[in-house]
A and B are shown apart, each in its own frame.
Chain A
Amino acid sequence: MSSTATQTGSFPSPYEVPTPEGCEGWEEMYPYYALFDERRRESDEKRFWFWNSMHFPTPHPAFDVICIDSPYQAVGSWQNRVFAVPPAMGIDYRVVNGYIYISGNPVTDPEKIAERAGYFQRRAGYYYENWSELYGKWKTKMEALIAELNALVVPGLPEYEPDEVAFSEDRNTAFYEVLDAYGRVLRLGDLMWQHHFEFLLLGYGAYATFAELCKNNLPDIPDQHIAQMVAGIDVLLFRPDAELRRLARLALDTGVDGAFVQGRTPAEIEAELSQTDAGRAWLAELEKVKDPWFNMATGDGLTHYYRSWLDDPSIPYASIVGHVAALRAGEQVVRPTEEIERERDRLAQEYGALLADEVRGPWQDLLALSRTVFPYVEEHKFYCDYWFLTRWWNKVREFGALLAGHGFLEDGEDIFHLSRHEVSTALDELVLTWATGGLPLGPKHWPPIVARRKELLERLSEWTPPPALGVEPEEVTDPMTIMLWGVTTERVREWARQQDGGSELSGAAASPGTIEGLARVVRTVSEIADVRDGEILVCGSTSPAWAPIFTKIKGTVTDVGGVMSHAAIVCREYGLPAVVGTGRATAQIRTGQMIRVDGSAGVVTLLE
């Protein structure tokens, strides 16, 4: 790399990314402000943008743009307007060929930074001091929000309003109720995102500070040891899988395990179970577990594609089938929490003893603080990203069904191809024509738009987005970019270097060990079932719902994520080598290709 590389555009200009063939006009799916617009070129072209494949791994559907807008509205509010993190405002996003690129807004004026520091110290200090109490309240708040979402009724449009509307005082007509419910659904989503980011920044910050103190004093400490010292033992996120393991054990203990045959559908398994008392007892136990533990999403992505285990029981059932087989083979399927806890305490003690006396005190305090904040860092995912969000998408689906029922859409699921504002417009016309009895134009207007967008998304999914666009930064300083996405200065250098291809990918050494094997590239959760025993998983990122896959694979490579990412945590638990945050593994590796994963060095080698 030449010495001037830092200032030249070492990534493609966002304005020069070609549109894939047949995808002309894709821009119309997205809001005007989400595009690389000529009117903003001078500023946008000079910035560093990276593909947020962790949250947006696939071309983004029009409705789901709300799950870009709301989170970035929320994270910016907390980071920039509430806590006033001194050097960083919020995060901007842009869409390129349907994929989401993001870039942080730095604060550079020293006076402004000093001014913000005052706000930050007071406000963040308050949160850290009262963390457990505030987090307790937060959980109550989230549970209430989820309850409200569940209770929200999406009204129908009857031929005649019921008698109450005519005879009682406190009543509204359906046109108002439909519009009100839709507005409320959107607002509940905003509220969830607001809650989602209330603690996240501070939680990651405490952890990152601890990690940095470790690195300064123990320069060679493997990242996973830092994570191991902090990570929770009794984390909520492990509960769903723990429940599946318990159910598998129960099936064996009560002699109904014969029903769990690989390849059977959940309906087939349940049909067999329902024929015996023991089977029915098992099903009753399953029902008890479902709420809340089956509110797991099938992926981390912020799109409607990710359903919950409740929506798609084939995932938890596949997992139970696997656990039953493992138990029959005499394997231990219970997570060895005591062992994990012992090791975590041993590491903390040994590393603590190695530190200089003057560092040890603050180090221990930071470790304690990191452990205090960490449950939130892990658990907010369950409350927000899985439990709330999967149910929220389903609420949107109810509006889809309403529109489809009146011919505005061919299928309820098509609602996700209209923006939330277009849905609002469609609902306006629907309730208008329902009220007037007039002829709606919607059934002629919306289906062709949906059809074209479906085609666009399909074509765009064939395109591989570059990991970054614009100017390579001299240094990545934005704390969120580093903490949440693992996008560090070194990572960006690596991306720039790998632009010319090569047979090696590097990322974070997330779980030690070296393994060779055949790659299985999994781009979306629907492809999980294709994974065969002994393959190496290559994916954008993973989420807890991918749990069943880790008993099959030999190693993991991801595009995005740091050593605290889900894939890293699980691979360490299962003793599988993992390299995370390679930037382009899914783009560069083909299914069936022989690769070597060196999880100790953070290197993936393509062997053919």
Chain B
Amino acid sequence: MIHTQRLDELRGADDARYGGKSASLGELLRAGIPVPPGFGLSATAFEEFLTESGLAHRVAAALRGLGPGDVEGLARASHVIAEAMRSAPVPGAVRAEVAEQYALLGPGDDSPAVAVRSSALGEDSAEATFAGQQDTYLWVQGADDICSAVRDCWASLYNTEAITYRARLGGGAAAHPAMGVTVQVMVDAAVSGVMFTCNPVTGDPSMVAVNASWGLGLAVVGGEVTPDDYLVSKVTGEIVREHIHDKEIQYVPAPGRRGTVQVPVDAGRRTAPCLGSQQLAALVELSRRVERHFGSHQDVEWAIDHTGELYVLQSRPVTALPKREAKTAPTSAMALVMQKFGAG
């Protein structure tokens, strides 16, 4: 295989080719953390796509001469490129690898549903976050549909926000971007959400902050519901704070299990807490393992399926912790006591 790799074979250093998402999932799998199986597409697949279809030239031509202030021009270019990409075939070599990897994913299920997500490369991660390149296609089935979704992920590199952002960075709109893609078996989530391995508001490292809502994680990640909000002590497992909210909607697999659909939550479950103490304990335990493995605070997307199994869907470093007042580090215990009495 040239362009793809099973997730459990990837390591952190592979993010230069496979992108941060695939690489970090590989790391999690290595640490024995439950992550749904899947594979990553390397940036070379995208390059092959650009070269083989002759798109590289057309892209360059569409972007030539556009400055960051040319709003209309950039929008038009974005549209042209997207159209061109969607009509270009995924290279045969890539398509064959995807089909082969996909076949390995579903023993007993010949066409398991997968999630297809963009996996931004190394230092582009921050940019990707900024430019909204968080393209995710859920409940995708069959190698053909996966290839289409992969192509859509690639196309997102040229959405208006992304090219404007690159133009503004000074490399010019034509600067050559790259991207990996992550393909991962779907978790049919009963409950899902995100958690931080610290309190993102106060920065307290002894807390795990959990947001949870019914159904697939889309509702929480996309901010479409106010999720249940828990603050749990890592040290004792005590729930330090708990706010149960009215969760009006949830996302579930669409009929035929292709794509997703938003449905209202049953009246009885809307204001019911979606996590019990055992599930919270499992999440806290999991967050500690993830944090220990990466050695830094993590923002973890998780899901619990209908059989109660807990999975990590992705994990990335917490970048924007509150800046605490730049207190000089305490020199000694006694100096602090003196300060307390106003004698410091």
Q: Give B74-117 as 1s and 0s: 1 = Cβ < 8 Å from A's Cβ atoms.
A: 00000000000000000000000000000000000000000000
Let me know if A209 is at the binding interface, CB within 8 A.
yes
Let me know if A59 is at the binding interface, CB within 8 A.
no
Segment touching A, from B39-47, B49-57, B179-187, B336-344:
B336-344
Let me know if A580 is at the binding interface, CB within 8 A.
no
Instruction: Tell me which residues across on chain B come within 8 A of A329, comparing CB atoms.
Output: none
- The distance in angstroms between the C-alpha atoms of A222 and B238, with both chains bound, is 9
Instruction: Tell me which residues across on chain A come within 8 A of B332, comparing CB atoms.
Output: 362, 365
Instruction: Tell me which residues across on chain A come within 8 A of B324, comparing CB atoms.
Output: 216
Asked if residues A85 and B341 are in contact (CB atoms below 8 Å), the reply is: yes
Asked if residues A347 and B236 are in contact (CB atoms below 8 Å), the reply is: yes
Asked if residues A86 and B329 are in contact (CB atoms below 8 Å), the reply is: no
Let me know if A125 is at the binding interface, CB within 8 A.
yes
Kindly identify which residue among B235, B239, B241, B341 contacts A347, using a CB–CB cutoff of 8 Å: B235
Q: A220-B199, A354-B205 are in contact. Are A512 and B238 (CB under 8 A)?
A: yes
- The distance in angstroms between the C-alpha atoms of A130 and B335, with both chains bound, is 17
A306 CB to nearest chain B CB (Å): 32
- The distance in angstroms between the C-alpha atoms of A218 and B199, with both chains bound, is 10
Q: A220-B202, A221-B206 are in contact. Are A86 and B239 (CB under 8 A)?
A: no
Asked if residues B343 and A116 are in contact (CB atoms below 8 Å), the reply is: yes
Let me know if A389 is at the binding interface, CB within 8 A.
no
Instruction: Tell me which residues across on chain B come within 8 A of A209, comparing CB atoms.
Output: 333, 336-337, 339-340
Instruction: Tell me which residues across on chain A come within 8 A of B239, comparing CB atoms.
Output: 600
Asked if residues A120 and B330 are in contact (CB atoms below 8 Å), the reply is: no
Asked if residues A121 and B343 are in contact (CB atoms below 8 Å), the reply is: yes
- The A-contacting residues of B in range 287-335, CB under 8 angstroms, are 324, 327, 329-335
Q: A120-B341, A218-B206, A351-B206 are in contact. Are A225 and B236 (CB under 8 A)?
A: yes
Q: Give B232-261 as 1s and 0s: 1 = Cβ < 8 Å from A's Cβ atoms.
A: 011110111100000000000000000000
Q: A221-B204, A359-B329, A362-B332 are in contact. Are A120 and B343 (CB under 8 A)?
A: yes
Let me know if A283 is at the binding interface, CB within 8 A.
no
- The distance in angstroms between the C-alpha atoms of A479 and B234, with both chains bound, is 31
Asked if residues B331 and A362 are in contact (CB atoms below 8 Å), the reply is: yes
Instruction: Tell me which residues across on chain A come within 8 A of B153, comparing CB atoms.
Output: none
Taking CB as reference atom, which chain B residue is nearest A370?
Answer: B333
Let me know if B207 is at the binding interface, CB within 8 A.
yes
Asked if residues A213 and B206 are in contact (CB atoms below 8 Å), the reply is: no
Instruction: Tell me which residues across on chain B come within 8 A of A368, comparing CB atoms.
Output: 333
Taking CB as reference atom, which chain B residue is nearest A222?
Answer: B240
The listed residue with most A CB atoms (<10 A of its CB), out of B238, B331, B334, is: B334
Taking CB as reference atom, which chain B residue is nearest A84?
Answer: B343
The listed residue with most B CB atoms (<10 A of its CB), out of A87, A125, A362, A479, is: A362
Instruction: Tell me which residues across on chain B come within 8 A of A208, comparing CB atoms.
Output: 340
- The distance in angstroms between the C-alpha atoms of A306 and B85, with both chains bound, is 87
On chain B, the number of residues with a Cβ less than 8 Å from chain A's Cβ atoms is 34
Taking CB as reference atom, which chain B residue is nearest A362?
Answer: B330
Let me know if B203 is at the binding interface, CB within 8 A.
yes
Asked if residues B240 and A125 are in contact (CB atoms below 8 Å), the reply is: no
Taking CB as reference atom, which chain A residue is nearest B235?
Answer: A350
Let me know if B231 is at the binding interface, CB within 8 A.
yes
Asked if residues A358 and B329 are in contact (CB atoms below 8 Å), the reply is: yes
- The distance in angstroms between the C-alpha atoms of A225 and B206, with both chains bound, is 12
Let me know if A550 is at the binding interface, CB within 8 A.
no
Asked if residues A220 and B240 are in contact (CB atoms below 8 Å), the reply is: yes
Asked if residues A113 and B235 are in contact (CB atoms below 8 Å), the reply is: no
Instruction: Tell me which residues across on chain B come within 8 A of A100, comparing CB atoms.
Output: none
Asked if residues A205 and B337 are in contact (CB atoms below 8 Å), the reply is: yes
The listed residue with most B CB atoms (<10 A of its CB), out of A87, A209, A601, is: A209
Asked if residues A479 and B330 are in contact (CB atoms below 8 Å), the reply is: no
Q: Give A107-138 as 1s and 0s: 1 = Cβ < 8 Å from B's Cβ atoms.
A: 00000010011001100110010000000000
Asked if residues A85 and B342 are in contact (CB atoms below 8 Å), the reply is: yes
- The B-contacting residues of A in range 468-503, CB under 8 angstroms, are 479
Q: A86-B342, A600-B240 are in contact. Are A218 and B204 (CB under 8 A)?
A: yes
Asked if residues A213 and B238 are in contact (CB atoms below 8 Å), the reply is: no
- The distance in angstroms between the C-alpha atoms of A125 and B327, with both chains bound, is 24
Asked if residues B343 and A86 are in contact (CB atoms below 8 Å), the reply is: yes
The listed residue with most A CB atoms (<10 A of its CB), out of B199, B231, B329, B338, is: B338
Asked if residues B340 and A212 are in contact (CB atoms below 8 Å), the reply is: yes
- The distance in angstroms between the C-alpha atoms of A116 and B343, with both chains bound, is 8
Instruction: Tell me which residues across on chain A come within 8 A of B327, comparing CB atoms.
Output: 216
Instruction: Tell me which residues across on chain A come within 8 A of B204, comparing CB atoms.
Output: 218-221
- The distance in angstroms between the C-alpha atoms of A358 and B338, with both chains bound, is 19
- The distance in angstroms between the C-alpha atoms of A87 and B202, with both chains bound, is 30
Asked if residues B330 and A213 are in contact (CB atoms below 8 Å), the reply is: yes
B282 CB to nearest chain A CB (Å): 19
A37 CB to nearest chain B CB (Å): 31
Kindly identify which residue among B238, B334, B335 contacts A600, using a CB–CB cutoff of 8 Å: B238
Q: Give B147-159 as 1s and 0s: 1 = Cβ < 8 Å from A's Cβ atoms.
A: 0000000000000
- The distance in angstroms between the C-alpha atoms of A209 and B238, with both chains bound, is 24
- The distance in angstroms between the C-alpha atoms of A366 and B332, with both chains bound, is 9
Let me know if A181 is at the binding interface, CB within 8 A.
no
Let me know if A68 is at the binding interface, CB within 8 A.
no
Taking CB as reference atom, which chain B residue is nearest A116?
Answer: B343
- The distance in angstroms between the C-alpha atoms of A216 and B340, with both chains bound, is 13
Let me know if A206 is at the binding interface, CB within 8 A.
yes
Asked if residues A205 and B340 are in contact (CB atoms below 8 Å), the reply is: yes
- The A-contacting residues of B in range 154-185, CB under 8 angstroms, are none
Let me know if A327 is at the binding interface, CB within 8 A.
no
Q: Give B182-214 as 1s and 0s: 1 = Cβ < 8 Å from A's Cβ atoms.
A: 000000000000000001001111110000000
Asked if residues A220 and B338 are in contact (CB atoms below 8 Å), the reply is: no
Taking CB as reference atom, which chain B residue is nearest A364?
Answer: B333
- The B-contacting residues of A in range 71-107, CB under 8 angstroms, are 85-88
Can you name 23 A-B residue pairings with CB atoms under 8 Å?
Answer: A85-B341, A86-B343, A87-B342, A88-B342, A117-B338, A120-B343, A124-B337, A124-B341, A128-B334, A205-B341, A209-B337, A218-B204, A219-B199, A219-B202, A220-B199, A220-B206, A225-B235, A347-B236, A359-B330, A362-B335, A369-B333, A600-B239, A600-B240
The 5 residue pairs across chains A and B that have the minimum distance between CB atoms? A365-B333, A219-B202, A358-B329, A117-B343, A86-B342
B residues bordering A, Cβ < 8 Å? Answer: 199, 202-207, 231, 233-236, 238-241, 324, 327, 329-344
| A205-B340, A479-B342 given; 18 more Cβ-contact pairs under 8 Å | A120-B338, A124-B337, A128-B334, A209-B336, A213-B330, A219-B202, A220-B202, A220-B207, A220-B241, A351-B235, A354-B205, A354-B206, A358-B329, A359-B329, A362-B331, A366-B333, A368-B333, A600-B239
